[in-house]
C-alpha cells in the first residue's frame, strides 16, 4: 500500500499565569500555527486546558473566580482569531479547554478537547474520562489536584474519527497512563492518538518532585503506541506556573514505540514529524492482528470490576 503521510506538530506551551488573559494565550497559539505552516503541518496538537493556567492545583472558595477558567462556547470571541488563522493557514488542530455547557437544563463542567479540521469545523469532541486527584480540599498539600472537584467524568466515550486520510483518536492527560484508553481506540481502528497534558512535577500526595515523572510520561505513551500500533502525539503545558512546576517532554511517537521528535525545553516549542498512517495499519495487521490473536474470554475481569481481587 502507498504511504498515507500527514505532517503533525506538537505545540508545547510554556507556563500560563493565572493573570494571563485569553488574548495573550491565543496570540502565542497563533505564533505556533505560523511556525507550523512553515513546516507544512496538517495538524497541530495543543495541550490540555490550553487557554489557562492549570487551575485544578488551586482550591477556590469563590465560584466566580473558578468560573472564569471555563469557556461557555467555542469558538468564543477570544478564541475566534485562532480558528480564523487555522483556516487561513489550512491547519487542523486539537485544543484542550475547560468546557461549561448547558445540557437538558443543567450546567455541566468538563475537561474537554476538540479536534478542529482545516475548515475550522469541530469534527470531534472528547471529555476527559480518567480524572485524577481528589474532590475535597486538602490544604496540607503544597500543590493540590482538584480535577475530581471541578470536572464531571466525560460522557462521550473514547472517540475516533476519520480525518486527514486516517483514523484519529483523542484523549487527555491522565488517560494516557491507562492501557484501556489506547486499546479501546485501537479497537475502533485508531491510527493516531492525540492528547494534551499538564503533569505537575510534584504529585499531589508528595512533598518532593517525582524524579521519574518524565520517564513515566514517555513510558506510558510509548507503551500505548507500541502495544496498539498507533502514532501517539502528546503535548505538554510546561514550566513553572505561578510557582508550581509542570513537566515538558512533548513527544511524537511512532507505532513502533520509538520517539521520533521530542521537545527539549519547558517553554513554547514546536516539534513536527511526518507520520505515515499506513505504518500503523501495517503493524496492527501483522504484529498484533487483534481478530486472530485477542483472547477475549480471558479478559472479562477488565470490564467487570475496577479494583483488585487477590487470591485468598
Q: Cite the active site residues.
A: 48, 128, 173
251 lies in the site for ligand CDT, by CB under 6 A = no
What beta strand segments (E) does 63-105 contain? 92-103
197 lies in the site for ligand CDT, by CB under 6 A = yes
CB atoms within 10 A of CB 106: 7
Give min distance, CB of 106 to ligand CDT, in A. Answer: 25
Q: Which of 194, 229 has the CB closer to ligand CDT?
A: 194
Question: To 5 degrees, how large is the angle CA 165–CA 169–CA 173?
Answer: 140
SS3 assignment, position 38: helix
Stretch in the footprint of ligand CDT (CB under 6 A) among 60-68, 192-200, 248-256, 272-280: 192-200
- Residue 248 to residue 266: CA distance in whole angstroms: 5
Note whether 239 and 248 are within 8 A (CB): yes
What beta strand segments (E) does 104-202 contain? 106-116, 122-127, 160-163, 166-172, 192-197
Question: To 5 degrees, how large is the angle CA 28–CA 32–CA 35?
Answer: 140
235 lies in the site for ligand CDT, by CB under 6 A = no
Q: Which of residues 118-147 bind ligand CDT (CB under 6 A)?
A: 132
β-pairing, 244-246 vs 251-253, is unpaired
Q: Which of residues 42-71 bind ligand CDT (CB under 6 A)?
A: 48
β-pairing, 239-241 vs 244-246, is antiparallel
245 lies in the site for ligand CDT, by CB under 6 A = no
Give min distance, CB of 223 to ligand CDT, in A. Answer: 14
Give min distance, CB of 178 to ligand CDT, in A. Answer: 9
Give min distance, CB of 216 to ligand CDT, in A. Answer: 8
The C-alpha torsion from 243 through 245 and 246 to 247, rounded to 10°, is: 150
Identify the residue among 75, 81, 120, 203 touching ligand CDT (CB under 6 A).
203
String marking each residue 163-182 x if it binds ligand CDT according to CB under 6 A = ----------xx--x-----
201 lies in the site for ligand CDT, by CB under 6 A = no
Give min distance, CB of 61 to ligand CDT, in A. Answer: 22
Residues found near ligand CDT in the complex (CB under 6 A): 48, 132, 173-174, 177, 197-199, 203
Amino acid at each position: 500500500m502507498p504511504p498515507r503521510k500527514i505532517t503533525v506538530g506538537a505545540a508545547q506551551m510554556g507556563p500560563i499565569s493565572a493573570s494571563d488573559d485569553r488574548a495573550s494565550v491565543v496570540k502565542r497559539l497563533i505564533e505556533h500555527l505560523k511556525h507550523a505552516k512553515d513546516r507544512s503541518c496538517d495538524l497541530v496538537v495543543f495541550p490540555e486546558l490550553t487557554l489557562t493556567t492549570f487551575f485544578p492545583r488551586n482550591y477556590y472558595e469563590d465560584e466566580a473566580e473558578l468560573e472564569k477558567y471555563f469557556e461557555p462556547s467555542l469558538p468564543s470571541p477570544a478564541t475566534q482569531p485562532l480558528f480564523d488563522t487555522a483556516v487561513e493557514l489550512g491547519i487542523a488542530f486539537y485544543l484542550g479547554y475547560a468546557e461549561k455547557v448547558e445540557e437538558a437544563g443543567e450546567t455541566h463542567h468538563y475537561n474537554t478537547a476538540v479536534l478542529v479540521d482545516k475548515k475550522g469545523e469541530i469534527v470531534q469532541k472528547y471529555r476527559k474520562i480518567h480524572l485524577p486527584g481528589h474532590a475535597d480540599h486538602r490544604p496540607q498539600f503544597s500543590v493540590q489536584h482538584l480535577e475530581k472537584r471541578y470536572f464531571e467524568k466525560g460522557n462521550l466515550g473514547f472517540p475516533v474519527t476519520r480525518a486527514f486520510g486516517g483514523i484519529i483518536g483523542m484523549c487527555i492527560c491522565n488517560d494516557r497512563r491507562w492501557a484501556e484508553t489506547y486499546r479501546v481506540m485501537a479497537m475502533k481502528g485508531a491510527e493516531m492518538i492525540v492528547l494534551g497534558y499538564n503533569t505537575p512535577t510534584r504529585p499531589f500526595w508528595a512533598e518532593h518532585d517525582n524524579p521519574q515523572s518524565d520517564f513515566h510520561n514517555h513510558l506510558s505513551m510509548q507503551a500505548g503506541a507500541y502495544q496498539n500500533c498507533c502514532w501517539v502525539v502528546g503535548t505538554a503545558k510546561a514550566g513553572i506556573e505561578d510557582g508550581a512546576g509542570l513537566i515538558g517532554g512533548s513527544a511524537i511517537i511512532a507505532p513502533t514505540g520509538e520517539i521520533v521528535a521530542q521537545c527539549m525545553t519547558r517553554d513554547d516549542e514546536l516539534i513536527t514529524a511526518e507520520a505515515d498512517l499506513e505504518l500503523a495499519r501495517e503493524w496492527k495487521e501483522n504484529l498484533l492482528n487483534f481478530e486472530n490473536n485477542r483472547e477475549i474470554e480471558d479478559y472479562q475481569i477488565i470490564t467487570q470490576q475496577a479494583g483488585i481481587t487477590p487470591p485468598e
